[in-house]
Structures are given as structure tokens and as C-alpha cells.
Amino acid sequence: MFCYVYVFQSTPVFGQDLSSLYDSAQKYGSKDLEKQDYYVQKLILESTKQTNDSFLLKGYNLKSVISYRKADTDSAFFYIAKTLDVSEKIKNDEVRIDMLRLKAFIYKNRRYDKDSALFYLELALEESKKTNYEHGKIKSLEAISFLSMDEGKYLDATQLLLKARKIAYKIQDNKALSSIANNIGHTYLQMEMYDKALPFFDEANKYRDDTTTISVIPLNIAHCYYQKGEYKKALSILDKNSSLALKTSLNAAIEYHLEYVTLFLTTHEPKKALEKIEILDSLYTKAKPQAYRNLLLLKAKTYLQLKDTLTAHKYIKEVENEIVIESEDDFHNRLTMHELFSYTYSFLKNYKKANYHSQKYISLYKATYNKKLQQNIYESELNQRIALEQKERELEKIKYTTQLAKEHQNTIYFSFGLIILLLIFLIITRAYWINKKYSKELKSTNHQLSESQAEVIQQNNILHEQSEELMRQSAELKCSHEEVLAMNDNLENIVNERNEEVIEKNKMLEEYAFINAHKLRAPVARLLGIMQIIELSKDTNEIEFYLQLCKQEIEDLDRIIWTIKEAIEEKTPLNRLELEKKKEMK
């Protein structure tokens, strides 16, 4: 959200009254928009009466931001136009650039017109470059990177953020460095490159000096550790910062408790997960629909771990009703929904629906696999670009060093010329000796020039070799891309083969289950019956007869077990008919 308001210089004319109105408007900020709007209206009215353009610009600027926060786009555009007119009049370039950026945010967040948003952001970036407005460059690059992230262009977003980071280092703006590092980490998080994301989140935490990101950055760090399987570290970070999240904002508190639930489900602690879900239910009064679907799926997972399949199925059905259009934003929700449906329908013995959702899950998982392959390509390209940037910096350093050497040589030549002219003018009689000395110095200088020229030729050769190396790396990258495409073509065949293996194994498990339930159970049941007869019998001869029967049943049971054991060890299919044949052979 656009929240930057430029701090203007005070003007001497009626400064006290207008300053107090401006301070009152600033005091309320986003805490009470209505009161802030009241003081801003008064500020605009008084500034117009007093023809004070400086405070009038402040009033229009604040009014534009208030209208944006109230989602009143027509009013926001009106006051942005007023602000641009006054800023042009008093030559305030920074406010004009900030207004162009605010206009872009309105198109992006209120009108959902990303093309228009990109146009005004690029315009703001160009104006920032012309006026050397460093903060404007940083904020414009960040905003453009968000548009690239929305389109899934994480590599381009990372490149833009790295440029903004370079500027922030230059002006030593810790707040900007923290925000940029957090956003770079977020792009790696979206690409599931958690090892690369962690250093940037740590850097963001290092430069953090405000309360707006006090809970967001630790949550991102915890999420990285969770994805890497380091659950204890993730839980420790969540416990340490969750109390701050509750104080920061409702959305931050929701995100922390969602992470808690996901972590507890992964570590198979459904009771703890249910406690966090109860807290989430109380926080979700103003939640987004997609976030609410996340909660429903987490509830379903929790009740599945608690062996309450019917309740879990009810929550999954609710998610299915919520997801009307299969948008890209709900990709992970749909993947989880089909996976949980396959479990619950199997429990309800509706195998047709279970198979349907299993197939859906497999097709979505295939898309996920392709996405991970694309992320590997992103990472490779990013490493190539970073290497190119480093080599470019090295080349610039070499050029700068060469230029300094030439300037130094020119200075030496100029100094020598002055000295020679002075000596010629003052001591004409000793011209022969001076001329001889100058000849020696000229030879020495020519020798230095020859050496410098040889160094320049050597550096040119190095540059040529580096260029050839870059071309070779580009060819390797193209080959890697073709290999990835080939892997995608073979993926469907691999999935079909694994499905056939699973079906065959399920048949074997059903046969083993039948043998266990009937063939193994029969001798045991007969033994139990004979033992009851022996307990009731008092005749020794009769008892001995039944003991013989027991022995036969035990031998029969032993043959069946050995037959099953051999089949398992030999990994051969076994059915009830083959069991009878092998039992008779034994």
C-alpha cells in the first residue's frame, strides 16, 4: 500500500496555523481516516485562501492517499491530478514522482489493470532517474518487481530488486535494505529455493528498524526451516515472535497460526493443531476467501489424523463448494483437496470417486513437477546473470584503472613540458645539456608507453577469452533446457508404469489378506475348538486322540506359513489355489 507522504519545507507566510492543521492531519494517519480527512479538508481550504502552494500541495497529497485507502478511485485520481498540477507549478519533482507511483497502485490494487500500472511505474522510474531521486528509483523498482512476481516472472523480479538494493546500499537506507532483502527472499520462497531465501531473510532481519516487518520476516524464516524439515527451529521462531504478530495486525496473527497448524500436522500432533484452529476461527471474521479455504483444508487434515474421517470429509466438501473457478491462485488448495478426497472416499468405499480424485491429484502433481524443473532453469539463469554482472564490474574496474593511468601519464607529460620550456627560457647557454637530458627522459617515457600498450593488448585478449566463455555457457544453458523438455515428455509414461505397479501390488495385498483371513484362521479355529474339548474331557485315551489332532492342525498351519514365507522371499505372486497345491506338496 502506498503510505509515503513527502515532508515539505515550512513557509513563513501564515506558517503557524497551516502547520498546526498539517500536524493534526499527520497525527491521525491511518488510525482514523475520517478525522484525518477532516483536518486535510481544512488544510486545503485555508491554503487556498492564503494562496500557500506549499501547504496546498501537502493537502492534496494527503487527500490522494486517503482516497486510495478508502478505495475511492475517482476521488483519488482527481486529487492526484491536483497534486501533479501544483507540484509542476512549484517544481517539486519528488512529489510528482510519488503521485505517479500512487496512480500505478490504484490501477493495480483497485482497478486490476496491470498494464496501466506498469506504464505509470516505468514513467515514475524514468522521472526518478532524470531528477536523481534515489528513493523514487528504489520504490519504483520494488513496485515493478511485484508486478513481475504476480506474473510468475521471479527471475526478472529478482533482477529488479537487486538493482534497488544496489541503490539502497549507496544511500545507506536501512529500511529500504530490509524491505528489499525480504522481497528477494520472498521470490526465492515462491521458487521453493529455501537455502537461497534464508540469507536474504536474515539480511532483512539485520537491517530491520521499524515495526511493520517485525513479525513478517521471522515468519518467512520459520517457513524456510519448516520446508527444509528443521521443525524444531521453525517452532522456536514461531513461539518467539507469535506474540508480536498479534500486536502487529490481524493478517499477521492469522499467518502465524496457519503456520503453527501446518507444522503440528506435519509432526503428527493433531490435538495441538486443533487448539490453533480454534484460535483461527475467532480471527477469521475478516479473512480472505482463499485464506479461509486454507483453514478448512487444515481442519480436514487435523480430523483425518484424529481418525474422524466423516468430519474431515464435510470440510473438504465445503472447500469444493468454495472453489468455483480453478484459478492459478488456488492451485495448492486444489491439489490438497483432491488428495484428501481420495482418502475419505476410500474410507467411505466410494472407490469410483476416490479413483477420480486420485487421477486429478496425479495430473496436478505432474504440473508441480514441471514447475520445479522450471525453477531449476530460473536458478541456473540467475547464476549466469550474476556471474555476468561480476565480470562486467571487473571490466569496468579495469577500464577505470587504465583511464587513471592515462590521465597520470598526461599529467607527467604536461609537467615535463613546463619544466623544459622554463629551462630553455632561463638558461639558453646550457641548451645542449638540457636537450641531452630531455632525450634520455623521452626514451624512458616511450619505453613506458610501449609497456602500457602491451598491457592494453593483453587486457583486450583477456576480454576476448571471457566473451568466448560467456558464449559457451549460453550454449550449455540451451542444452540443459532441451534436456528438461525431454524429461517432461517422458513423465506421463513413468506415471502410467507406476500406476500399473501399484494396481498389481494392491491385488497381491488383497490375496494375502484373504489367505490370512481364511487359510491361516481355519487351523487356528480348529485348534481352539479341540482345546475346549480337551478341557472338558476326562478320558485319557480321548485326550490323547485330540492331542494327535492338535499336532496335525499345527503341522498344517506350519506348512501354510512356510508356503507364504517362501512366496514372500521369492517375491512371487501367491493365490489361494497355488497355496493348496504347495500345501499338499509339503
DSSP string, 382-418: HHHHHHHHHHHHHHHHHHHHHHHHHHHHHHHHHHHHH
Question: Higher pLDDT residue, 492 or 373?
Answer: 492
Q: Tell me what percent of the residues of the chain surpass a pLDDT of 70.
A: 79
Cell of 572: 512371487
DSSP 3: -
124, with CB counted inside 10 A (0-12, 13-18, 19+), is: buried
Contact by Cβ (8 Å): 284, 292:
yes
Greater pLDDT, 379 or 403: 403
User: What pLDDT digit, counting tens, does each position of 223-262 carry?
Assistant: 888 888 899 998 898 888 877 776 777 777 778 888 888 8
Question: What's the pLDDT at 119?
Answer: 92
Return the pLDDT at 249.
Answer: 72
Question: What digits encode the pLDDT tens for the residues 201-215?
Answer: 888 888 876 555 567
- Cα(182)–Cα(185) distance, rounded to whole angstroms? 5
Q: Which three cell numbers stand for residue 555?
A: 503341522
3-state DSSP assignment of residue 326: coil
pLDDT tens per residue across span 144-159? 998 888 887 888 888 8
Contact 169, 177 (CB under 8 A): yes
HEC readout, 186-233 = HHHHHCCCHHHHHHHHHHHHHHCCCCCCCCHHHHHHHHHHHHCCCHHH
Mean pLDDT, rounded, for 468-489: 76
Decide: helix, strand or coil at residue 430. Answer: coil
Kindly report, residue by residue over 36-47, the tens digit of the pLDDT: 888 888 888 988
Dihedral pair phi/psi, residue 249, rounded to 5°: -165, 165
Q: Does the pLDDT at position 15 exceed 50?
A: no
The one-letter code for the residue type at 286 is K
Q: How far apart are CA 50 and CA 118, in angstroms?
A: 38
The answer to whether the beta carbons of residues 185 and 201 sit under 8 Å apart is yes
- Determine the pLDDT at residue 11: 39
Cα distances (Å, whole numbers) of residue 424 to 56, 432, 547: 70, 10, 138
DSSP 501: H
Residue 470 predicted with pLDDT over 60: yes
Gap between the Cα atoms of 268 and 31, Å rounded: 41
Nine cell digits for residue 377: 532453469
Q: Cα torsion at 74, 77, 79, 81 (round to 10°)?
A: -140
Whose grid coordinates read 490438497?
336
What's the start-to-end Cα distance of the chain, in Å? Answer: 80
pLDDT at 9: 36
Q: Model confidence over 493-506: pLDDT tens digits? A: 777 777 887 787 77
Q: How far apart are CA 166 and CA 134, in angstroms?
A: 11
Give the model's confidence band at 379: pLDDT under 50 very low, under 70 low, under 90 confident, else very high. Answer: low
The whole-number average pLDDT for the span 26-33 is 74
Q: Is the dihedral of CA 249, 254, 255, 257 positive or negative?
A: positive
Burial of 141 (0-12, 13-18, 19+ CB in 10 A): buried
